[in-house]
Chain A
């Protein structure tokens, strides 16, 4: 069965077409809600954040630039910003890094409507993240998926601020290097 592209659905959402809007939400809701939940921690607030992300996507649909990346990346960036906005207003709940690491594990049974992002790049990144030194992986996961600043990572992990910054930066640079290597090998 023919399925509209992500870009087409976003254009329909931006134009106010309700069918497109519903299809857009159906296609991305698991990823948007999942990221919102990992950032804010509780289901009710996560639902509010996810709703807010879709409203922002509708409002800013015209500013989406396909040359800068796929719709899903743009939408998840909006979701991350919406979640972090909430954390800034309401101080974040204490978090167990292991629970975020568990959330990060890709779902074994992905929803059929979810966009399958199974590119080689995603596989490389997943492997690279799994093989980072555990302290770097925890720091990167807390920053990327739980919206925690370096200062908050230092408090959660009981380490100096400088060490937290170094772990986030070293982990991110190593992931970047692995991705670059994969791109150059194509």
Chain B
């Protein structure tokens, strides 16, 4: 991973506070912040200004019925997450496996079957296993499902994917409560290209990973 000096970090800082950094630059910036208190202070001040800018940002009238659409969507999503985390985790994993089963069903009519539709790897830290990750390489879309069931620290975490070519892609940001958190969504990259998943707390208090190189 690229190591940044303070001067290099400060050059990236404006894009960092506007949420615009991606890939290796974002990872390098976060890594620098974990070791540099001065730059943490600098970025906190810039963030306050960037956030204040949002307060004077544009307003616009949403399409009619928007409020009802959001309410409907929340109603649809709520049952999946109001249940206990372990039930949720099992259901979400089942959903991923369901997608895989469906894919295999679709593939069954073809001459070649997928060699590796679903990959699973434990998420670990220095002390042991704290969750698991599933990757599904679909025909048109790839899926990722991350389940944390024993994270030592609550908070907000970045889920990062390292690709075969060394590129690091930010997948999503997840919230962990009571040691539990989950994420499941289509990927913007091919699942087959991912060799490692990393889950880094945004405040530098924890880092977990899953090895998918084999």
Contact = CB atoms under 8 A, between A and B. Distances in A.
Interface of A: 16, 18, 21-22, 25-26, 29-31, 33-35, 37-38, 43, 46-47, 50-51, 54-55, 58-60, 62-63, 69, 72-73, 76-77, 80-81, 84, 88-89, 103-104, 106-107, 110-111, 114, 117, 121-122, 125-126, 129, 140, 143-145, 147-150, 165, 168-169, 172-173, 175-176, 179
B46 A176 contact: yes
B58 A16 contact: no
A14 B13 CA distance: 32
Contacts of A25: 66-67, 70-71
Interface in B60-77: 60-63, 66-67, 69-71, 73-75, 77
Given A25-B70, A144-B57, A122 B52 contact: yes
A143 B77 CA distance: 32
A129 B56 contact: yes
Interface of B: 10-11, 13-15, 17-20, 22, 45-46, 48-63, 66-67, 69-71, 73-75, 77-78, 81-82, 155-156, 173, 175, 177, 188
10 contacts: A21-B74, A31-B57, A35-B57, A38-B58, A81-B173, A88-B22, A106-B59, A140-B53, A143-B14, A144-B57
A interface, over-half SS: helix
B59 A69 contact: no
Contacts of A16: 78, 82
Contacts of A38: 57-58
Contact of A143 (B15, B49, B175): B15
Nearest to A173: B46
A126 B13 CA distance: 22
Given A22-B71, A55-B77, A63-B155, A29 B55 contact: no
Given A30-B59, A33-B62, 12 more contacts: A16-B82, A25-B70, A51-B70, A54-B70, A62-B175, A88-B188, A104-B57, A129-B53, A140-B53, A144-B50, A145-B57, A172-B49
